[in-house]
Structure 1
């Protein structure tokens, strides 16, 4: 690891003698305040954990996000990619090298915290330390992954403007959400209830550690995958497929343990949850991935020539997610007539049989609109922002106007409501998605014709 040239370069930059001296002096002065408390060792534990959180979650997150983007803006990233360093070594060098000074401070804080925790024999504080540690690693990895996505979207066309304040806010909010969201969902207080995951029971803090490790592993895999893309290396569809399946299984475990339902009901509830996960993934990846007509044309040519390996390497991740949507929609269309998860919330009321199909048509319409706007040839950022504005109008403004005008029965035309019927739900969105897909294909054909004419002229 220490033979990594990028890591050594970052260490020489970050670990200057002055900084190496200032960090322990500053932290030592802060920890000395615990001497004046009524319970010095307990106060020392609290101060060291707070210092660890501030250094890692706030400062370190900002540095991790800026590590590659600063190189792109300074026009040095391209030359670094041309070096013989591997994607894995580059991730280690950039992710841990840029944050090495914060981890130096975190090591001092964690050593102090562990000494006081061992002295007090405080297992709860030790679990808090583990949560902060894994949470810091996760946020660093996720912010680094986000920076690679931003770079890929930009494609070197312009200087990337970034605001580290967003990630500072995330460093404050995420720890709160990690405790607040489970509390709201499961209605527990730490140490007084257990979380069921399949047939296993976890204390809340233990499950939090388990969940952080799960997402941490996948965030590092995602960062490695995106770094390979930056190095012009091929990525197959199997990593994203594995992530989607594992995420569905992981989250489904939270509702699969409900013994109030029979086995069939629990399985179908998990299918509904997986379906909405696939829909969310399709939207998220469609907006985050590049939508270049050249890449679309290449993918179609590979499919026509039955070059399936190369096609699998070229297929966008949102299309894989859409494939999951299609498969799960088919399963739900077959199974929904026999059971509906809405029975658990509203007795004697079920989801319509065609509701999964309605949701799928909404997804197809929105993704067709997104690609249609991107095929116009403007910058991807402008096209994505324009699409978001259109979707806000479609999902927000128009239904609000219709509802206030007293035509509530027409609202399902623009919103995927569970109580929509065939006339006011399925047929209108089927027409909308078909029309939008036709417009997208028409613009695609026009762009292709223009490209062929240009090639003929040359």
Structure 2
């Protein structure tokens, strides 16, 4: 039996007019360009135009439709009906993912067919590989947009409802996607093995597209209020770290993993529900010894927070000390000084999480993310700058421990920050408990 969600989207996407208009318009474009190329040599390559049209129809327009598949349900107040249906998360995920973009794929397949025909006429190599790369990139953008919208729909962020997530995904895809314009014989070294550039790019796109689909399914489970243990988020951090470290043959693996854990913790912290009532339920489960229920309802950011401390400890005690990036601040060049940097960053992450929860635990909390960013900018930027301008260099080091040359002093100041933040958070927790 066909997926009812997929069938519903097909009825919404297709009409007789659209079925005829898409191939007619595309055929007219390709026919006009072929006539122009016959009369004026070297006007434009048909295969390049087909790729551009595919990018516009499937990657851009399709990403917008994939985003609207979730946003319109929220705007039309029909999401509760979706949640109460008998469809399981996977059926709902692929029904929306491929149903809402079915018309875009209808045009995209026509563009890919024109690309293959034109590329064969020009004797272009690796046509199938390039087609798979484009298709995987489009699926990656669609699934990533849907996963982000589903994740953000329960938070106080309005980026999902305003369509900002769509353009953020498009911008990231434009910036981070490597160029297709590579020499045929070019290669890339990954984990000591040599691969053809375009084949490796296609495999990478397929790999990340699969991860994005998996993320959309996990986000759909959460959106349908199906409690799950948050193991996928830290696993994704480890997988991405292993992928990124492969380009340096494994050098700096732990540092890459630590930086990813830090970034993913911040991203999840600022996009998840963290009010005091939610965390009181978490604490109540812990006091009752219901650890399975606690893990099934735990947000995802504490998992990468704990993972960052694991990586920091590995770097602190005999891990790979090679930094795969430059340092934007003054630090002792000794191995001992660098070894303390990892734990310092983890402690500063803990401090920032406590600052965020301090504002989130207020019953009058509004715009918690913006307030947290403002105060962290004051602590990490404005106050150290003001102290340096006034000649109080020692005092400035108390606000920004990363400027310390001594590893022990840097670690001590970061630990002091974390302890003070934990104390403030404990005070806020007790105050709100008394008021409740």
Indicate whether the TM-score tops 0.5: yes
Map of 1:91 onto structure 2:
93
Counterpart position of 2:204: 211
Correspondent of 1:435 among 413, 420, 423:
420
Alignment of 1:271-420 (within 5 A): 271-335=254-318, 340-342=321-323, 349-350=334-335, 351-378=337-364, 382-407=367-392, 411-415=396-400, 417=402, 420=405
Structure 1 residues 115, 411: CA separation in 2 closer, same or farther (over 3 Å shift)? farther
Q: Are the aligned partners of 2:262 and 2:305 in contact in 1 as well (CA < 8 Å)?
A: yes
Residue 225 (structure 2) aligns with: 232
Q: Is the 8 A contact 1:178 1:208 kept in 2?
A: no
Conservation of the 8 A alpha-carbon contact between 2:47 and 2:115: yes
Separation (CA, whole Å) in 2 of partners of 1:344 and 1:441: 36
Measured after TM superposition, the shift of residue 212 of structure 1 is 1.9
Quickly say closer, same or farther: Cα 1:173–1:433, change in 2 above 3 A.
Answer: closer
Q: Is contact 1:237-1:312 (8 Å) kept?
A: yes
Asked if the contact 2:136/2:205 (under 8 Å) is kept, the reply is yes
* 1:34/1:40 contact within 8 Å kept: no
- Counterpart secondary structure, 1:195: strand
* 1:71 alignment partner, one of 70, 73, 77: 73
Q: Which residue of 1 aligns with 2:2?
A: 3
Offset, 1:386: 1.0
Residues 334 and 240 of structure 1, relative CA distance in 2, 3 Å threshold = same
Assess, with a 3 A threshold, how the Cα gap between structure 1 residues 33 and 104 changes in structure 2: closer, same or farther: same
Question: Post-superposition shift, 1:420?
Answer: 3.4
The partner residue of 1:43 within 39, 42, 45 is 45
Match of 1:263 in 2: none
3-state SS in 2 of match to 1:113:
helix
The aligned counterpart of 2:130 is: 128
Deviation at 1:152, TM superposition (A): 1.7
| Mapped contact 2:144–2:169 kept (Cα < 8 A) | no
Q: Point out the structure with the larger helix share.
A: 1
Give structure 1 stretches of 5+ with no counterpart. Answer: 258-265, 452-458
Q: CA deviation at 1:208?
A: 2.3
Task: Give the 3-state SS of the residue equivalent to 1:340 in structure 2.
Answer: coil
SS in 2 for 1:335: coil
Partner of 1:456: none
Could you give the per-residue CA deviations for residues 96-134 of structure 1, whole angstroms, max 9, x where no partner exists?
Answer: 111111111111111111222233331255443332211
Contact 1:372 1:439 in 2 (8 A): yes
Q: Aligned equivalents of 2:37 and 2:83: distance in 1?
A: 53
Matched, 1:248 2:241: yes
CA distance in 2, matches of 1:75, 1:23: 31
Once the two structures are TM-superposed, the CA of residue 241 in structure 1 deviates from its matched residue by 3.4
Residues 340 and 410, structure 2, Cα contact 8 Å, conserved in 1: no
Give the distance between the partners of 2:37 and 2:361, measured in 1 at CA: 65
- Cα-to-partner distance string for 1:158-201 (whole Å, 9 max, x where unaligned): 9974135x634643552343227xx9xxxx96556532221322
Pairwise CA distance, 1:319 = 0.6
- CA pair 24-256 structure 1, distance change in 2 beyond 3 A: same
Deviation at 1:368, TM superposition (A): 0.3
Matched-pair contact (CA < 8 Å) for 2:187–2:194:
yes
Greater shift in the superposed pair: 390-399 or 188-197? 188-197
SS at match of 2:177: helix
8 Å Cα contact 2:340/2:408 also seen in 1: no
How many residue pairs are counted as aligned between the two chains? 428
Whether the aligned pair in 2 keeps the contact of 1:352 and 1:418 (CA below 8 Å) is no
Counterpart of 2:402 in 1: which secondary structure? Answer: coil
CA distance in 2, matches of 1:233, 1:343: 40
- The equivalent residue for 1:18 is 17
> Is there any run of 5+ residues in structure 2 with no aligned partner, and where?
none
1:260 corresponds to: none
**Mapping of residues 47-58 of structure 1, within 5 Å:** 47-58=49-60
